[in-house]
Amino acid sequence: MDEVGKLLDRPKQYYNIDGLGELGCGILSLGYGLFMWLEMHSPATAIWHKISIFILLGLVMVIHYGTKALKTHVTYPRTGFVEYRKDARLRNLIIGGALGGLTSLTLALSVSHHWDISTLLLLFGPVFAIGYGYAIARAVRWKWVIAAAFALTSVVIAFLPTDFLAILANDSPAAHPVRARIGGTMLISLLTYGALFIVSGGISFWHYLRHTEPAALENL
């Protein structure tokens, strides 16, 4: 990439300069993982099963408005405000929605058709790590450690015994081996990925606060 190309890329990397992007992802993953655990370990008639979609939407809203408020009060007064182009935001939304939809569909089909998707799950981590590396670690070198941890985590999870994953998912490995494996894998992946995002985003936020301060009025 030429120097001008690198400059054109800078605003994209600015979004996570304070680590808030990662913190948002971490809170979403960890929060949804904890809620999933609650759902799996509560009786089928429990209220959690009926309100799961509202909990997820609520969590997304809290993260969206929480990030906005923090950016307004912490980031913009320190290192400036950027409004991204609408076409870029729409493109990201479409890509994110398509990937999320495809993942959900694959998981739903594998449970209903009893497919063994262990290899697919094994591949998910390295692919995710590459995506993370491109989007975030490219700009901050030490985050390649986090990218490697994402890849390693998925490999470790892929080799966990089904019995252990079934205990996590509160399912029967004998009656529903695929469902138990997928449920346990999703749960432990959400929790560990969420924790990794929070650690990485937390360090970035702490570092950002330490090395920046609100700009003087004459610089605005």
- Rounded to whole angstroms, the Cα distance separating 165 from 177 reads 10
Residue among 51, 59, 74, 82 that touches another protein (CB under 8 A): 82
1 lies in the binding site for another protein (CB under 8 A): no
Site for another protein in 6-25 (CB under 8 A): 7-12, 14
- Rounded to whole angstroms, the Cα distance separating 149 from 153 reads 6
218 lies in the binding site for another protein (CB under 8 A): yes
Residue among 37, 48, 77, 133 that touches another protein (CB under 8 A): 77
- Rounded to whole angstroms, the Cα distance separating 125 from 131 reads 10
Residue with tokens 């799950």: 121
80 lies in the binding site for another protein (CB under 8 A): yes
Per-position DSSP letters for 108-158, written without gaps between them: HHHHHTT---HHHHHHHHHHHHHHHIIIIITTSGGGHHHHHHHHHHHHHHH
Residue among 42, 58, 72, 103 that touches another protein (CB under 8 A): 72
**Burial class (CB within 10 angstroms; exposed 0-12, middle 13-18, buried 19+) of 24:** buried
Interface segment toward another protein; rule CB under 8 A; list 51-59, 75-83, 128-136, 154-162: 75-83
- Rounded to whole angstroms, the Cα distance separating 169 from 114 reads 17
Rounded to a whole number of angstroms, the minimum distance from the CB of residue 47 to another protein is 41
The count of chain residues that interact with another protein, using the rule CB under 8 A, is 24
Interface segment toward another protein; rule CB under 8 A; list 79-87, 139-147, 183-191, 199-207: 79-87
Residue 95 in tokens: 């890509």
68 lies in the binding site for another protein (CB under 8 A): no
Rounded to a whole number of angstroms, the minimum distance from the CB of residue 2 to another protein is 9
Binding site for another protein (CB under 8 A): 4, 7-12, 14, 72, 76-77, 79-86, 215, 217-220
